[in-house]
């Protein structure tokens, strides 16, 4: 089928060897446009999810997300990041108990299950402050993870506040220590991961922030 489509395109391109090559290139480009469409659709459909099914996320699945993350572009390929995954309910519940004491109001909100927006799996992203590109690198890594997750039917939420809480609250120190981060690394943010139990609508974006310069 693909071969005949290529032949057809080759014929349309003039039947010469060069024409056949042009047909192949055009067919490959057309196939990429379709793939590109899927990527664009995934980007536009991703939303922060804050309610999750209680189903665990398999570690093989999480591993794919991590592989996508560390394949993000990063300054001079220094990879100035450290990723830690926690799916242990004892850990998540334990640090959430600390959080609840400090933030009783948030803990009392309807649907509150844990401080990671109720997700069963959390990816912690830490940065090496010595590398000036690390905040950008870690951000790009996170978006790769969140888009891959979306493409695989998972929900995610980037969480700055949970990381700040763990970084700054003495009661959470033992949980930060258990992450076993390299010396000097700072916990930058977390990514909540799980099977979504809500489908939030897109929040409005301000298109006036974008301009073509002639
Ligand atoms: C750096 C960063 C920190 C964030 N921190 C939190 C957070 O602490 N809690 C939370 O619920 N959402 C957090 N978010 C998610 C944003 O609120 C969300 O991305 C934004 O409102 C746009 O919505 P959308 O992701 O559904 O498009 C964070 C997002 C980013 C990029």
Tens of pLDDT, residues 13-27: 444 666 678 888 777
Residue 158 backbone phi and psi in degrees, to 5: -75, 130
Task: Give the confidence band of 72 by pLDDT, cuts at 50, 70, 90.
Answer: very high
Ligand 1-lining residues (CB < 6 angstroms): 47-48, 50, 117, 157-161, 189, 200, 203
Tell me how far the alpha carbon of residue 47 lies from the centroid of ligand 1, in angstroms: 9
Given a cut of 50, is residue 160 above it in pLDDT?
Answer: yes
Tell me how far the alpha carbon of residue 200 lies from the centroid of ligand 1, in angstroms: 13
The stretch 22-38 carries a mean pLDDT of 79
212 in a domain, yes or no? no
Q: Tell me, yes or no, whether 110 and 161 share the same domain.
A: yes
Q: Tell me, yes or no, whether 28 and 94 share the same domain.
A: no
30 in a domain, yes or no? yes
Given a cut of 90, is residue 57 above it in pLDDT?
Answer: yes
> What stretches of 71-196 show up as alpha helix (H) in DSSP?
89-102, 104-107, 134-151, 160-168, 173-178
Q: Tell me, yes or no, whether 65 and 117 share the same domain.
A: yes
Q: Tell me, yes or no, whether 89 and 181 share the same domain.
A: yes
The stretch 72-85 carries a mean pLDDT of 98
Q: Which atom of ligand 1 is nearest to the CA of 142?
A: 31
Please check whether residue 6 is in contact with residue 23, taking contact to mean a CB–CB distance below 8 angstroms. Answer: yes
105 in a domain, yes or no? yes
131 in a domain, yes or no? yes
Tell me how far the alpha carbon of residue 50 lies from the centroid of ligand 1, in angstroms: 10
Determine the structural domain holding residue 184 and report its residue range: 59-194
Q: Tell me, yes or no, whether 168 and 92 share the same domain.
A: yes
Q: What is the pLDDT of residue 53?
A: 97
Please tell me what DSSP assigns to residue 195. -
201 in a domain, yes or no? no
The token pair at 44 is 């536009």
Q: Tell me, yes or no, whether 76 and 172 share the same domain.
A: yes
104 in a domain, yes or no? yes
Q: Tell me, yes or no, whether 83 and 159 share the same domain.
A: yes
């Amino acid at each position: 089928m693909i071969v005949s489509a290529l032949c057809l395109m080759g014929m349309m391109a003039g039947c010469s060897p060069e024409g056949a090559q042009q047909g192949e290139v055009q067919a490959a480009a057309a196939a990429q446009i379709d793939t590109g469409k899927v990527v664009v659709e995934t980007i536009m459909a991703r939303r922060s999810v804050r309610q999750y099914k209680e189903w665990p996320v398999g570690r093989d699945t999480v591993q794919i997300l991590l592989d996508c993350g560390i394949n993000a572009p990063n300054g001079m390929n220094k990879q100035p990041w450290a990723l830690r995954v926690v799916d242990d309910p004892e850990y998540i519940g334990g640090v959430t108990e600390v959080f609840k004491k400090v933030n009783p109001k948030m803990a009392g909100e309807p649907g509150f299950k844990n401080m990671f927006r109720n997700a069963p799996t959390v990816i912690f992203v830490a940065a090496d402050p010595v590398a000036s590109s690390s905040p950008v690198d870690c951000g790009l890594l996170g978006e790769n993870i969140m888009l891959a997750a979306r493409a695989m039917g998972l929900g995610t939420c980037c969480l700055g506040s949970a990381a700040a809480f763990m970084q700054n609250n003495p009661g959470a120190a033992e949980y930060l220590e258990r992450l076993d981060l390299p010396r000097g690394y700072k916990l930058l943010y977390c990514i909540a991961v799980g099977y979504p139990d809500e489908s939030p609508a897109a929040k409005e974006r301000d298109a006036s922030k974008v301009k073509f310069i002639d």
